[in-house]
Amino acid sequence: MSDTIGLILITIGIFFELAGCIGLVRLPDIYNRLQAATKCVTMGTCLILAGCVVLKGICSPIALKAIICAVFILLTSPTAAHALARGAHLYGVKLWDKSVCDMYEKDKK
Amino acid sequence: MRKMVLFIISFITWMLLTYQRETCLELQGVVVGLFAALLTALIFGETFAEEPRKLFDIRRYFWFLVYLPVFFYWCLLANFDVVYRVFHPSMPINPGIVKVKTSIKSKSGLAALCNSITLTPGTLTVDLTDDGYIYIHWINVESQDIEEASRIIIRKFEKILTRIFE
């Protein structure tokens, strides 16, 4: 039973990772690509780690390490995306042509 | 005080990371862990928490437990949102950078709010000013007004995060 649940969790995680990678290719500019990459990769990785926890049992050493890894990923991955987006904007990477508004650019002047 | 708290937290993290069933509490591992935690506390103690007394408030942990399911719900919704936009043949996106205002002041609270914004549907934190404005890249801009955008994007987290971090 726990094998089935664990494998289902890992499968869903891999599906989200795949969606994130396709988004990385399809979406137009760096900010939209970061959106897809951050959300899907964070959640996908956390689901894969949760699958490992279910497969191995909550008290095993691997499960404890997986939980710690999930916490670290949840803390660091959005921060890295934030740093990349800010760096790209300060460097002068333009938004996509069809973007609606850019208040950051307006306020920087 | 700060160094003490950081010392205890990093020691617990170390013990969990190096935990193995056969050699669960070996003297050697404990000594190395104590040393590593001491080093961490001495180097990073000053930059750790602004007010360590907040760590001993039980109510904050209760609100943190309330916050977790809310956060995971929005996180899951964000993923389905990305899946929908990516696999849709015409890619329904309408991106732009908007500005919102937050009332949270503490640094850890702002960090948690920004991370939550990044992991919720269609939004990505770009920058943060000293007077409480956050610039957010929104994949589907619904409103360019500061008040309206704040209401849509951050009100769902702000109340609980204020109770946890303020």
CA dist., res. B109 & res. B147, Å (int): 20
Same domain for B114 and B149? yes
Range of the domain at B33: 2-54
Same domain for B93 and B139? yes
Helix, strand, or coil (residue A29): coil
CA dist., res. A38 & res. A28, Å (int): 16
Inter-residue contact B103 to B152 (CB < 8 Å): no
Number of H helices, E strands in chain A: 4, 0
Which residue in B83, B93, B97 is closest to A103 by CB distance? B97
How distant is the Cα of B140 from the closest Cα of chain A, in angstroms? Answer: 9
Same domain for B48 and B99? no
Burial track B21-46 (b if 16+ CB lie within 10 A, e otherwise)? eeeeeeeebeeebeeebeebbeeebe
Same domain for B78 and B6? no
Q: Nearest-CA residue of chain B relative to A86?
A: B126
What residue has token string 């996180």?
Answer: B75
User: In this model, does residue A74 exceed pLDDT 80?
Assistant: yes
Q: Note the pLDDT of residue A8.
A: 92
Give the pLDDT band of residue B23 (cuts 50, 70, 90). low
Give the pLDDT band of residue B50 (cuts 50, 70, 90). low
Q: Which of B87, B118, B119 to mutate to test the interface with A (most CBs of A within 10 A)?
A: B118
Amino acid at B149: A
CA dist., res. A33 & res. B93, Å (int): 12
Same domain for B111 and B48? no
Same domain for B82 and B135? yes
Range of the domain at A58: 2-108
Same domain for B48 and B103? no
Q: Note the pLDDT of residue A48.
A: 92
Mark residue A5 as left, alpha or beta (left: phi above 0; alpha: psi -120 to 50; beta: remaining): alpha
Per the structure, the count of domains in chain B is 2
Per the structure, the count of domains in chain A is 1
Same domain for B49 and B63? no
Are A95 and B125 inside 8 Å of each other by CB? no
Judged by average pLDDT, the poorest of B8-22, B95-109, B125-139, B144-158 is B144-158
Helix, strand, or coil (residue B80): helix
Are B91 and A26 inside 8 Å of each other by CB? yes
Same domain for B22 and B85? no
Cβ atoms < 10 Å from Cβ of B86: 22
Are B75 and A39 inside 8 Å of each other by CB? yes
Interface confidence: ipTM more than 0.85? no
Give the pLDDT band of residue B25 (cuts 50, 70, 90). low
Same domain for B128 and B150? yes
Q: Note the pLDDT of residue B52.
A: 65
Same domain for B68 and B142? yes
Same domain for B111 and B75? yes
Q: What are the tens digits of pLDDT across the range A23-69? A: 888 888 888 888 888 888 888 899 999 999 998 887 788 888 888 88
Which residue in B94, B111, B122 is closest to A100 by CB distance? B94
| Mean per-residue pLDDT, B69-83 | 86
* CA distances in angstroms from A40 to A4, B28, B30, B106, listed in the order given: 23, 40, 37, 29
